[in-house]
Chains A and B, each alone.
Chain A
Amino acid sequence: MKKFSLGKIVCQIFLIVWLLLCLFPLYWLFCFSLKDTQEIFNGNLIGLPTQWLFSNYANAWGEGGKISLFLMNSVIDTVATLFITSLFGFMCAYGLLRMRWKGQKLVMTYIMMGMMIPMHAALYPLTEVLLPLMKTHWALIIPYAAFNIPITILILSGFITNIPYEMEEAACIDGSGIYRTAFTIILPMMIPAISTAAIFVFLQVWNELLLASVFSSGSVRTLTVGIQQMSGQYQTDYGSMGAALVIATLPTLVLYMCMSGQVQKSLIAGAVKG
């Protein structure tokens, strides 16, 4: 019995060490976002800032850094992508999995195939397709939506097949058409599944770099591309860079803190995407 509790103590120590290792870089980021370069070079690497320089945030946000612009762009791209994947994903899942026709399985397999293919493969041909849309938000929204539709459908499929067919039957008897049934009866029941998929897609899109670095430039740059470029300009201004990183992270972090259970569920559901 005593040996058992010793094991427990070892486990706890191990867990706490990893916990600290997990949190330390974040604590460090927060601290250096409030320091100036002088302080960092004078040896105060790890400690709390002596003066809390919120001006770093103002600097990153406004004139110098333009983080506010990048943030806005990321919000626009993400919201539009989510709207498209949710609406089209739901409609397609409904047609594919609840209606009855030949070739359902074939079409489902066809769409799921898209999930296994990395975006890299389509990169160059996409530049041709999206050329007319360059410098607009659509150049990113369209590929983001298209590449995230398969996982959305997959996540929805688990839920949509569990809804009893009595729903449609009752609606049909009451004289409701198929579109009204789908959008006013089934859609509301699917909200939990749609939000599970949406959270997954949100994290994918918000954090994406490869496509963004090709398709977003100038005034439509997203956060990931924006802060990456800022890091080049701000070599000497660590504080503002740190502030920019904090601002870029806050939306996902706040989402996670408010609904950690939901976020974890979404990422478990999306894990098959790889």
Chain B
Amino acid sequence: MKRVLSNKWSIAVFVLPTVLFFTYIVIIPIFKSFYYSLLSEIPAKVGDESTFVWFKNYIKMFTPGRRNAFPGAVLNSMTYAALSIFVQLPFSLLIALILANGVKGESMYRNIYFIPVVISSVVISLLWQRIYKDLVPAIYDGLGLALPKNGFLGNKDTKLMAVFLPSLWQFVGYHMLLMYGALKSIPSDVIEAATVDGASATRMAFSIQIPMIKPMLKVCLSFSLIGSFKLFDTPWILLERSNMQLPALSMYVEMFSNHKYSYASAQAMFIVFECLAFTALLNLLFRERDDRDLTKGRGRKAA
């Protein structure tokens, strides 16, 4: 039996095809991207000479200048991430708490709130484009309000908000579901004990429920952060390629419109590093919290 399960040949048959395929399509291209990002800007075609310039592309990326939009793009993605974290997540958490504490129609609300999640963001963006172009002006007209100059999608100051709203609408259901699931898995005796002790709903939420779903909050946080850094579909369609500055859009334009492959690769690698750095940061933040709780003796006993 043991011999069968550690037969080298059959292990290779099971594992090797996938590992090779994965290496060839995912891992090697990533390293190649990194390599290209260190080359000078001669198209990396066979036969062409490219010189190795180390981190020149990365330096260029962050050299301030009127024509360099990348720092602004990164800043925009950070603002977007902040919006997701400080608006979208608390809102989702509020809904999750209300639903998890038991209301009439709990599962109906949950099922309907989740509908936008399964719809393609392409469809959602095109739909919201119509909303911004037809419905919103009509509503503003009706209320006698003035639209911002060039409309919400054209105005420099409202663009980011205009891109954020459809995503808020789409993903609240997802975060809500994740948090709801975690809240529901809190052992009922904990909740009962708190109720007996006379904890109010607010107190219960802040002292018991939210601390107990921290692992899931971490998942939601990293989901929001990475989603913001990678953001592509919604602004790409909603703004009809007008230059909304976001890292992924900038990368795409440099790569396929300007054919600056090395520079675009540097931007792509920057997105990767940004995602990895923030994932590491989140891990650090949440580990510290856990330790502190344990030393105070208020840590989760069951978990």
- The proximity string for B residues 88-109 relative to A, scoring 1 for CB distances below 8 Å and 0 otherwise, is 0000000100110001110001
Known: A114-B26, A124-B255, A238-B130. A178 touches B10 (CB 8 A): yes
Tell whether A146 is near chain B: CB-to-CB under 8 Å: yes
- Verify B29–A126 contact, CB threshold 8 A: yes
- Verify B7–A249 contact, CB threshold 8 A: no
- Verify B2–A228 contact, CB threshold 8 A: no
Q: Smallest Cβ distance from B251 to chain A, in angstroms?
A: 6
Tally of A interface residues using CB under 8 Å: 89
Tell whether B188 is near chain A: CB-to-CB under 8 Å: no
Tell whether A117 is near chain B: CB-to-CB under 8 Å: yes
Tell whether A1 is near chain B: CB-to-CB under 8 Å: no
Please report the C-alpha to C-alpha distance between residue A223 and residue B121 in the assembled complex, in whole angstroms. 12
Main secondary structure of the interface of A (DSSP, over half): helix
Tell whether B135 is near chain A: CB-to-CB under 8 Å: yes
Looking at B4, B30, B123, the one whose CB has the most chain A CB atoms below 10 A away is: B123
- Verify B118–A252 contact, CB threshold 8 A: yes
Q: CB-CB < 8 A to B131: which residues of A?
A: 25, 28
Please report the C-alpha to C-alpha distance between residue A117 and residue B201 in the assembled complex, in whole angstroms. 40
Q: CB-CB < 8 A to A267: which residues of B?
A: 117, 174, 177
Query: Which B residue's beta carbon lies closest to that of A95?
Result: B14
Please report the C-alpha to C-alpha distance between residue A74 and residue B104 in the assembled complex, in whole angstroms. 39
Q: CB-CB < 8 A to B229: which residues of A?
A: 118
Q: CB-CB < 8 A to B290: which residues of A?
A: none
Interface of chain B residues 55 through 94 with chain A (CB within 8 A): none
Tell whether B15 is near chain A: CB-to-CB under 8 Å: yes
- Verify A92–B109 contact, CB threshold 8 A: no
Q: CB-CB < 8 A to A227: which residues of B?
A: 122-123, 126
Q: CB-CB < 8 A to A223: which residues of B?
A: 120, 122
- Verify B36–A25 contact, CB threshold 8 A: no
Q: Smallest Cβ distance from A39 to chain B, in angstroms?
A: 12
- Verify A88–B36 contact, CB threshold 8 A: no
Tell whether A65 is near chain B: CB-to-CB under 8 Å: no
Please report the C-alpha to C-alpha distance between residue A46 and residue B138 in the assembled complex, in whole angstroms. 10
Q: CB-CB < 8 A to B268: which residues of A?
A: 120-121, 123-124
- Verify A178–B5 contact, CB threshold 8 A: yes
- Verify A268–B19 contact, CB threshold 8 A: no
A29, A45, A263: which contacts B118 (Cβ < 8 A)?
A263
Stretch in contact with the other chain, from B149-157, B189-197, B206-214, B271-279: B271-279
Known: A22-B116, A114-B27, A224-B120. A28 touches B177 (CB 8 A): no
Known: A114-B27, A209-B122. A271 touches B15 (CB 8 A): no
Looking at A12, A114, A145, A146, the one whose CB has the most chain B CB atoms below 10 A away is: A146
Tell whether A49 is near chain B: CB-to-CB under 8 Å: no
Tell whether A218 is near chain B: CB-to-CB under 8 Å: no
Interface of chain A residues 237 through 274 with chain B (CB within 8 A): 238, 241-242, 245, 248-249, 252-253, 255-256, 260, 263-264, 267-268, 271-272, 274
Please report the C-alpha to C-alpha distance between residue A274 and residue B134 in the assembled complex, in whole angstroms. 33
- Verify B120–A249 contact, CB threshold 8 A: yes
Query: Which A residue's beta carbon lies closest to that of B36?
Result: A124
Please report the C-alpha to C-alpha distance between residue A191 and residue B220 in the assembled complex, in whole angstroms. 28
- Verify A172–B27 contact, CB threshold 8 A: no
Interface of chain A residues 181 through 211 with chain B (CB within 8 A): 182, 203, 206-207, 209-210
Please report the C-alpha to C-alpha distance between residue A252 and residue B170 in the assembled complex, in whole angstroms. 14
- Verify A19–B112 contact, CB threshold 8 A: yes
Please report the C-alpha to C-alpha distance between residue A227 and residue B27 in the assembled complex, in whole angstroms. 31
Stretch in contact with the other chain, from A52-60, A75-83, A98-106: A98-106
- Verify A14–B98 contact, CB threshold 8 A: yes
Q: CB-CB < 8 A to A214: which residues of B?
A: 256
Q: Smallest Cβ distance from B278 to chain A, in angstroms?
A: 10
- Verify A248–B128 contact, CB threshold 8 A: no
Known: A146-B26, A224-B120, A271-B178. A95 touches B126 (CB 8 A): no
- Verify A260–B2 contact, CB threshold 8 A: no
Q: CB-CB < 8 A to B220: which residues of A?
A: 271
- Verify A210–B114 contact, CB threshold 8 A: no
Known: A209-B121, A274-B222. A228 touches B237 (CB 8 A): yes
Q: CB-CB < 8 A to A169: which residues of B?
A: 1
Tell whether A71 is near chain B: CB-to-CB under 8 Å: no
Looking at B7, B18, B272, the one whose CB has the most chain A CB atoms below 10 A away is: B18
Tell whether A61 is near chain B: CB-to-CB under 8 Å: no
Known: A100-B6, A123-B255, A264-B114. A111 touches B174 (CB 8 A): no
Q: Smallest Cβ distance from B229 to chain A, in angstroms?
A: 8
Query: Top 10 nearest A-B pairs by Cβ distance?
Result: A95-B14, A125-B29, A146-B25, A122-B29, A207-B120, A95-B15, A92-B18, A125-B32, A274-B226, A224-B122
Besides the contacts A15-B103, A252-B119, A268-B178, what 12 more A-B pairs have beta carbons closer than 8 Å?
Answer: A18-B95, A22-B173, A32-B130, A88-B18, A92-B18, A117-B275, A118-B275, A120-B268, A121-B268, A121-B269, A122-B29, A227-B122
What are 13 sample pairs from A and B whose C-beta atoms fall under 8 A apart? A11-B98, A12-B104, A28-B131, A94-B14, A114-B27, A123-B251, A125-B28, A142-B25, A209-B120, A224-B122, A264-B110, A264-B114, A274-B226
